[in-house]
Amino acid sequence: MSTFGMISHATTRAVSANARVTARKDVDNRAQRQARVTTSRGKRTVETRANASEIDAMNENFASQTPLQIMDAALEKFGDGLAIAFSGAEDVALIQYAALTGKPYRVFSLDTGRLNPETYELFDKVEKHFGIKIEYCFPEAQAVKDLVNEKGLFSFYEDGHKECCGVRKVKPLRAKLSTLTAWVTGQRKDQSPGTRNEVPACQVDPVFEGAKGGAGSLVKFNPLTDATSQEVWDFLRVMGTPVNELHEKGYVSIGCAPCTRPVLPGQQEREGRWWWEDASDKECGLHSGNLSAEAKAAQDAREATEEDLFKNSKVHALTRADIEKLKDEATHAETTIAVLYAPWCKFCQRMQGGYENAAENLSPKGVKFVKFRADRDEKEWSKENLSLESFPTVLLFPKGRSGYVKLGSERRDADSLQIFIESIVGKL
């Protein structure tokens, strides 16, 4: 059973009542808490730093708790030093949960200057609905001016989104987080299985630092991590929470207007973001030249591993000569599916079970499963000849045709691989 829990109208009334009870208890116990609570601008500020053992203990407790309980615990522990990051999408659920705790809470949003009109409208609705003031963060005007004057308004379509995001999102976010001790995000594991499988309910932020600076100075909460999209939307509907009108137009994950589009049925929700980049920056990107010296050294160490993947007897290993011959065949004599992989890549490791299961099920039906290790000395050749952009890359060489078809989705479980194959070659 999901720890998120299904919330009916009756449960909603009970939750609201519990929130009021919690609020009354908070008042009754205020005197007892004064010894460990300091005041900042008239608001509660509790913890300023957390260590690994505390984080582990919280995650152990959160494993059996609901998002409401996680939010309540986060606000109790960090008080005014914590703020909720609100992007203008279904993460509005975080604000609804915070309101139900009966505790004071803060919300901030990044205004990149390129959001959809519907997102700005939602910001206004949320402020009025919850009676709050969102703390808006803006990019540095000179940095935006320099970027646009040098590269134009849509440079990200040519050289990737990271530079623009760095100016419009990352820098203002870093500045905001440097004033906090904890923050709350709406990340969920099911948003993009290729990149968000390891989202804990609570963690020491691995990227940003908080007000005190240094390791452990910023704690990150992800109360929705184990919730599904359906569960989040069930909650929003029964609570009557205002939502972004873009959702009614097919948008699921919502960011800046030029970098967001609706997704098709069956696509992962984040496939509508930066779609032109072929998922390379959502997984194991191959652009090591953009890495810091420390990060590149770590990647080189990973690439040195000799441990192999896809060891099932139904999966055949190919050399470069083998796969080059397959690629150049005028007409394929059999249907072959190939995974281009790197053993050190965690996304390749995660798809191992699905690929091997598919091999067991479909090999008897005439599909040959192969693997080709495409890192190290094979990386550049694979990028040039096999459309390698990220690990893993899956290619289908259909019987009776030349060339190959590349799997465009992040879904690589056995069922999805079969759907992919049959959509090209027909029912097996």
Catalytic site includes residue 256: no
The three-state secondary structure class of 333 is: coil
Distances (CA, A) of 32 to 22, 25, 36: 15, 11, 9
* Percent residues over pLDDT 90 in the chain: 58
The three-state secondary structure class of 49 is: coil
Strand order through the sheet with 393-397 = 315-317, 367-373, 335-341, 393-397, 405-406
Asked if 108 contacts 135 with a C-beta cutoff of 8 angstroms, the reply is yes
Q: Closest by alpha carbon to 417, among 361, 349, 372, 371? A: 361
Asked if 92 contacts 86 with a C-beta cutoff of 8 angstroms, the reply is yes
**Residue 377: its H or E element:** none
pLDDT score at 347: 85
In angstroms, rounded to a whole number, what is the distance separating the alpha carbons of residues 184 and 95?
10
Asked if 351 contacts 392 with a C-beta cutoff of 8 angstroms, the reply is yes
pLDDT score at 411: 81
Q: Report, as ranges of residue numbers, the positions in the chain whose pLDDT lies below 70.
A: 1-50, 191-198, 264-306
pLDDT score at 43: 53
pLDDT score at 415: 92
Catalytic site includes residue 345: yes
Distances (CA, A) of 197 to 189, 229, 231, 263: 5, 14, 18, 20
Distances (CA, A) of 300 to 115, 296, 297: 38, 6, 5
Asked if 253 contacts 270 with a C-beta cutoff of 8 angstroms, the reply is yes
- Quick: pLDDT tens for 271-320: 666 665 644 444 343 333 334 455 556 656 666 666 799 999 999 999 99
In angstroms, rounded to a whole number, what is the distance separating the alpha carbons of residues 29 and 24?
9
In angstroms, rounded to a whole number, what is the distance separating the alpha carbons of residues 35 and 161?
48
Q: Closest by alpha carbon to 235, among 90, 393, 57, 360? A: 90
- Cα 137-139-141 angle, rounded to 5 deg: 130
DSSP string, 211-234: TT-STTS-EEE-TTTT--HHHHHH
Extract the tokens encoding 212. Answer: 């005190």
Out of 164, 256, 259, 345, the active site residue is 345
Out of 165, 259, 284, 348, the active site residue is 348
Q: Closest by alpha carbon to 107, among 83, 130, 87? A: 83
Extract the tokens encoding 314. Answer: 């139904």
Q: Closest by alpha carbon to 358, among 302, 274, 419, 423? A: 419
